[in-house]
Structure 1
Amino acid sequence: MIDMEDAVSIGAEDLGGALLWVAIGLGVLLGIAALAVWAARRRGSTTIVLDATAAVARVWIAFVGLAAVFVMWRWLGGGTTWIPELPVTMAWPTALPCEQPVPPESVGTTLECASVQVVDATIANLPVATRAVLALGDLLSLALAAMPAVAVAVICHQALKGLPFGRAAGRMLMLTAVVVLVAGMGTELATSIGRSLAAGAVLPGPESGADVTTTGIFRLTVPLWPIGAALALAALGTVFRHGAVLQRETEGLV
């Protein structure tokens, strides 16, 4: 089983099978890079690394574009939808409440307490608004995955033109910083909100006393790493813009 959200999740019945799928994926990427290197050498290119990197970036962008089409079909096509990590509250199958006193130290590895907070669920006829929020989360995740490849493709193109510090490279890095900040934080927010709305649409509230209920709260995740990544990309974009100024001044002296 292969699932794509903010990452590619691969499932198999055994560890060897899962690792094999990972190896196949990496092999495909390496094969694309090797093909690009071979084509560049046949052309007599002196920028083989740039050619190969740009080729892999373009293939990655195309792959993300196909994934975006799948996301739109999955969430907006209607019918039955599988939603992972739906927030719920339910009792553990056996009596292992974590609020009880800790039992005497056991011999060997022993599960002392446990709780269930999320489940993977299949839901039919989910409201359109909830589907739209979940689709937004996935699309933002894909934008986050695509932007580094877009930036790499632009920088390589500029370098191949003999303008490694061209204005386009600096602007693209600044745009990438903005997308990483917005999409990086928006992905988790939209996905958390969508999953809570989906749980509320099919499950009763905690006051109902049912065996499986919603948590009764919106537990939102706001990651902080996009802030650091955006700052780093913005700083790099500023360096490229400064390099563009120096490049123009140098060209004017020649």
Structure 2
Amino acid sequence: MVVYSGDLWGSLAQIGLTFCVLVIVGAIAFWRGRRRRSETLFLDVALSLGGWWVALSVLALIVILLKAFTVDWVEIDGPALSIPLPADFPCVSYGEAQGPAITCRTTSMSNFGVFNVSAGIHALVAVAQTCTLIVSTLPAALIAFICFQTLRGRAFHRTVIRALVIGAIVLLVVGVAGDLLNDITGTLALREVFPVGSPWYPEAFMLSASGLPIGGAIALAALAAVFHQGFRLQSERDQLQKDTEGLV
């Protein structure tokens, strides 16, 4: 996910710049393929974009590891922390609004920074962020791998099928683990910040898991089944061709 904050046009410009970089990388790959008169232009472009995505993810992983050992704060993306609105906050109760207005109710904060936490929290945050990074990188890595194998003439091959199956397992396990670790780490960090008895001290763990890793794993498993069927048909065709050549 690409997120920027600021004024509307400034944020749109920054997001546009990010996508422009991807377009430029794809355009360069397309131009190089045209110069070589390649017949696999779109595969070349997809391979280049996937490779760049993986390379940027490696840099992001290095940043995550450096932050785990060099800073005294962590970024928490976990359980919601309930925060009452200030007494002077302009809000109205239900049924009292005469125009656009905000309802008076407790708000929540799920993304926050925490200073001077234990080394265990630093480690858990690094692992959770790494899980999130793996989930966001895995599709690009698989696309790059499939394009590479296709360019070698091995699209329907056991290696591709195995990669898709492994990818489905990794996406399911790492994706669910990342969601759970975010909630667990956030709760443990809040317990270090607030003393027992504080209204903000989390008494219980509130765990949640997104359905995205499950859906993605099912999609990859289905794609692996499709490639397996293609591999079987290709093997039968090759065997039939050998038998025909033997008869001739």
Report if TM-score (shorter chain) is over 0.5. Answer: yes
2:76/2:185 contact within 8 Å kept: no
The answer to whether 1:224 aligns with 2:217 is no
Between the two proteins, the alignment pairs up a number of residues equal to 240
Task: Report the equivalent of 2:27.
Answer: 34
Helix, strand or coil for the counterpart of 1:208? coil
1:240 partner letter: F
* TM-fit CA distance, 1:131: 1.2
**Which of 183, 195, 198 lines up with 1:208 in the alignment?**
198
2:190 partner letter: A
Q: TM-score, normalised by structure 1?
A: 0.86
Task: Report the equivalent of 2:5.
Answer: 11
Task: Report the equivalent of 2:233.
Answer: 246
2:78/2:182 contact within 8 Å kept: no
1:78/1:125 contact within 8 Å kept: no
Helix, strand or coil for the counterpart of 2:3? strand
Instruction: Write out aligned runs for 1:101-250 (5 A).
Output: 104-118=95-109, 120-205=111-196, 207-208=197-198, 213-250=200-237
Counterpart CA distance in 2 for 1:43 and 1:88 is 57
Counterpart CA distance in 2 for 1:231 and 1:197 is 32
1:88/1:214 contact within 8 Å kept: no
Calculate percent identity across the aligned residue pairs.
31
Task: Report the equivalent of 1:22.
Answer: 15
CA distance 1:111–1:48, change in 2 (3 Å): same
CA distance 1:244–1:85, change in 2 (3 Å): closer
Task: Report the equivalent of 1:4.
Answer: none
CA distance 1:112–1:122, change in 2 (3 Å): closer
1:87/1:199 contact within 8 Å kept: no
Counterpart CA distance in 1 for 2:124 and 2:55 is 24
Counterpart CA distance in 2 for 1:233 and 1:135 is 27
* TM-fit CA distance, 1:44: 1.8
1:83/1:121 contact within 8 Å kept: yes
2:74/2:125 contact within 8 Å kept: no
Counterpart CA distance in 2 for 1:154 and 1:11 is 34
RMSD over aligned Cα atoms: 2.2
1:154-201 C-alpha deviation (Å, 9 max, x unpaired): 111111112221111111111111111112211111111111111111
Counterpart CA distance in 2 for 1:170 and 1:15 is 44
CA distance 1:177–1:105, change in 2 (3 Å): same
1:203-238 C-alpha deviation (Å, 9 max, x unpaired): 224x335xxx22322221211232222112101101
1:239 partner letter: V
Task: Report the equivalent of 2:244.
Answer: none
Task: Report the equivalent of 2:245.
Answer: none
2:26/2:48 contact within 8 Å kept: yes
* TM-fit CA distance, 1:68: 0.6
Helix, strand or coil for the counterpart of 1:9? coil
Counterpart CA distance in 1 for 2:113 and 2:222 is 44
2:78/2:185 contact within 8 Å kept: no
